[in-house]
Structure 1
Amino acid sequence: MRTVSLLSSAVVLLGYNTNGLTSHRLADALALLADEGYDAVALTPDVAHLDPMRASAREIDAVAHRVADLGLRPIIETGSRFVLDPRRKHRPNLLERDAQERALRLDFLRRHVEIAAAIGAEVVSLWSGALPEHVRADEAREHLQRGLDELLVDADRHSVVIGLEPEPGMWIETVEAATRVFEAQGRPDRLGLTLDVGHLLVTGEGTVHDVLTSSNMRLVQVHLEDMKPGIHEHLAPGRGDIDFAETFRALQSSGYGGPVCWELSRSSHEAPEVVRLCRDVFRSSLFST
């Protein structure tokens, strides 16, 4: 079945994730993207930018005005590493055996939905998390389904869409697995697919065209970077094996219209140069389709 976009426009938008701009103040990072011709920003609230557990309503409102003034379309990402636990990366998650730990992650995600609504972001992206030790697959499935059920209530109330992102090394690491979750949830309108193009090269699941035509999930957000087969390392374009022109052909064929956000969390030290490089590769690849 063909993936259908929740977004009304078929225009692909150039975006960038703030997790690759952590050496810049957030206001400066947003200005850099706008000055370099970007259309969208994937904002990852984290200790460097708009700490999701500490940011005030005034700070969030300032970001809302900033992205609006700059003409940037915002998306919210939830991939901060150590906000909930300074010693365990991306933990706790929705799969934990301990109910209090699951509740902590759920509250964290609800906070991101609130931030999304406040700054005008239509999509909040998340992943399942890694399968904790001593948690069985059937338990994880139940925990994830219950957590998503509760989160989707908040998403509906705030008119936000949840994008489930398959992530290598996590329990849901393929589009096929994400689609099974979508089916188990009853195909909710507020749950779609966040596709990271590089992850397909890591898992070997297939091409962009293959996975989009085999899934009935709605494509709501796209992440992009260069990548090498089997190695989960986000690289600047030209340092891996991604065919960007083919990627954009597949996205256009799918009917996707919305942000395609470069995600280069290990490139903050060279952000201005990489931001320009990504823009140039985006434009040359898009125009070659």
Structure 2
Amino acid sequence: MTGDPVRHSGPGPRSAPGPVRFGYGTNGLTDLRLDDALALLADLGYDGVGLTLDHMHLDPLAPGLAAETARVARRLSQLGLGVTVETGARYVLDPRRKHGPSLLDPDPAGRAARVGLLVTAVGVAADLGAHAVHCFSGVTPAGTPPDTAWQRLTASLAPVADAAATAGVPLAVEPEPGHLLATLADFHHLRGALGDPSSLGLTLDIGHCQCLEPSSPADCVREAAPWLRHVQIEDMRRGVHEHLPFGDGEIDFPPVLEALATSGYQGLTVVELPRHSHAGPALAAQSLDFLRGALPAGPLVPAGGDARCRRH
């Protein structure tokens, strides 16, 4: 996708009234300072931001985290932006291992480090007034039996779910292609293993649904609706885990947005383009235009009814 340079002329209009609220992920704006990224999104008219905790954007390991979190909370309030906290930073714990150590790490100390990061993220999310804190399982280490991997995951996530319950911030686990927890079915397996805690919810990535779920992305939204706590959105192709700008993949978005609009989900739907920071400002503008154009036209009806939507 290409377009004109982004120009700022004060805060733009927010997304059209209705239940779908759009955000943009800071992992797709890593070439911008956080304050500049937040101002950009407010100017464009986004409803919120998916804030990835990382060294360039609210470092969860830096001294003075509480004071910086309070400052960011004030800035979000000034700009009228909602927020969800994301924890998918590639090298925040280990500068040489992408997403390492994970909740599945063979080393108990490594797993504990990831648990500590997630508990910190829950606290940050509570202080920001975030609607959820996101996480994922990680890739099963080589030579690890599936039963062992699931035992590690459930044992690691239990204290995080407890912290989320105490803080009043839902924990939203994301099925990620290639990870132990890769599908909606895997999420339900985890939910059962943990005893279905009320603090445990789901991050649904619409592109991941296109990539590997048996149901269509719109059907995935309807199937996942009771557990939805966070939504990520981008284009993607079947069988290829590559986050693409809208229009570059295969997803039919109007039915997806209609399903979200009638699902009862009240959180942000966050554009997730983590490998496109080089064009982040332009893509943020183009993405919001695309999503607004794909929103349902006319009155909405409850899930399961016959709603008409405008095709983009």
CA offset at residue 52 of structure 1? Answer: 1.2
Return the alpha-carbon distance in structure 1 between the equivalents of residues 292 and 223 of structure 2.
Answer: 28
> Which of 140, 147, 153 does residue 131 from structure 1 map onto?
140
1:44 aligns with 2:41: no
| Structure 2 partner of 1:72 | 81
1:207 aligns with 2:216: yes
The question of whether the paired residues in 2 share the 8 Å contact of 1:208 and 1:250 is answered with no
| Structure 2 partner of 1:263 | 272
Q: How does 1:181-192 map to 2 (within 5 A)?
A: 181-192=190-201
**Partner amino acid, structure 2, of 1:146:** A
Return the alpha-carbon distance in structure 1 between the equivalents of residues 172 and 39 of structure 2.
Answer: 26
Structure 2 gaps, min length 5: 1-16, 298-308
TM-score (norm 1): 0.93
CA offset at residue 152 of structure 1? Answer: 1.2
The question of whether the paired residues in 2 share the 8 Å contact of 1:174 and 1:205 is answered with no
The question of whether the paired residues in 1 share the 8 Å contact of 2:225 and 2:265 is answered with no
> Which of 28, 31, 54 does residue 23 from structure 1 map onto?
31
Between 64-73 and 45-54, the greater mean CA deviation after superposition:
45-54
Specify which structure has the bigger relative contact order, considering alpha-carbon pairs within 8 angstroms and separated by 6 or more residues. Answer: 1
Question: RMSD over aligned Cα, in angstroms?
Answer: 1.6
| Structure 2 partner of 1:4 | none
Between 170-179 and 55-64, the greater mean CA deviation after superposition:
55-64
| Structure 1 partner of 2:232 | 223
Q: How does 1:82-121 map to 2 (within 5 A)?
A: 82-121=91-130
Against the structure 1 CA distance between its residues 172 and 10, is the aligned structure 2 distance closer, same or farther, given a 3 Å change threshold? farther
Q: Which runs of 4+ in 1 moved over 6 A?
A: none
Deviations 1:213-259 (A, max 9, x none): 44575101110011122111111111111111111122223222221
| Structure 2 partner of 1:174 | 183
CA offset at residue 141 of structure 1? Answer: 1.1
> Which of 12, 15, 19 does residue 20 from structure 2 map onto?
12
Deviations 1:175-199 (A, max 9, x none): 1111111122111110011100000
Secondary structure of the equivalent of 2:164?
Answer: helix
The question of whether the paired residues in 1 share the 8 Å contact of 2:85 and 2:132 is answered with yes
Return the alpha-carbon distance in structure 2 between the equivalents of residues 68 and 243 of structure 1.
Answer: 34
**Partner amino acid, structure 1, of 2:233:** L
Return the alpha-carbon distance in structure 1 between the equivalents of residues 289 and 225 of structure 2.
Answer: 32
CA offset at residue 65 of structure 1? Answer: 0.5
TM-score (norm 2): 0.86
Against the structure 1 CA distance between its residues 247 and 107, is the aligned structure 2 distance closer, same or farther, given a 3 Å change threshold? same
The question of whether the paired residues in 2 share the 8 Å contact of 1:227 and 1:233 is answered with yes
CA offset at residue 209 of structure 1? Answer: 3.6
Higher Rg: 2
Return the alpha-carbon distance in structure 1 between the equivalents of residues 54 and 243 of structure 2.
Answer: 19
1:53 aligns with 2:61: yes
1:158 aligns with 2:167: yes
Return the alpha-carbon distance in structure 2 between the equivalents of residues 280 and 176 of structure 1.
Answer: 33
**Partner amino acid, structure 1, of 2:169:** V
Return the alpha-carbon distance in structure 2 between the equivalents of residues 271 and 209 of structure 1.
Answer: 27
The question of whether the paired residues in 1 share the 8 Å contact of 2:202 and 2:230 is answered with yes
Return the alpha-carbon distance in structure 2 between the equivalents of residues 230 and 219 of structure 1.
Answer: 23
Return the alpha-carbon distance in structure 1 between the equivalents of residues 61 and 285 of structure 2.
Answer: 32
